[in-house]
Amino acid sequence: MKIIKDRKRNLADCLVITAGLIIVGIITKESVFYYVAASLGLILGLIPQLAYYISFVWQGIGIIMGFIISKIILSIIFYFFLFPFSLLQKLFSKNKAISNKKSESYWIIKPEHQTDFTKLW
């Protein structure tokens, strides 16, 4: 897990958290989020080491969520788009699969002929 140690990046991460708390406060109309955002912004601006730890946790959560969400999105794409398309293709295809043939063997006997390697083309 690669965590950025740059002070500006850590403060930017903390600013995003603070802005998120303000937006949640606007949506829910709860003043608690404003107080938490203001105190968090003030404390993290004054103590850069604490901003590093908050940024470390924030980026770790982002990596974990990226791992989980990518699996969910790929599963949704597969089961809602690719799987139905595959079923429709198998139902309406003129080119039937080998498994639909009713023969004893699928071995194809080719006629014997000599291959002349001097005249390839």
Radius of gyration of the chain (CA): 31
**Residue owning tokens 């604490």:** 50
Question: Which residue's entry shows tokens 């103590």?
Answer: 47
* Side chain identity, residue 41: G
- CB crowding 17-50: b at 16 or more within 10 Å, else e: bbeebbeebeeeeeeebeebbeebbeebeeeeee
User: pTM for this structure?
Assistant: 0.54
Per-residue pLDDT of the chain (121 residues; tens, 9 = 90+): 555 567 777 778 888 888 999 999 999 988 899 999 999 888 887 887 888 888 888 888 989 999 999 999 999 999 998 999 888 887 877 666 555 566 666 677 777 776 767 777 6
Nearest C-alpha neighbor of 62 from the set 12, 105, 121, 3: 3
Sign of the C-alpha dihedral computed for residues 111, 114, 120 and 121 taken in this order: negative
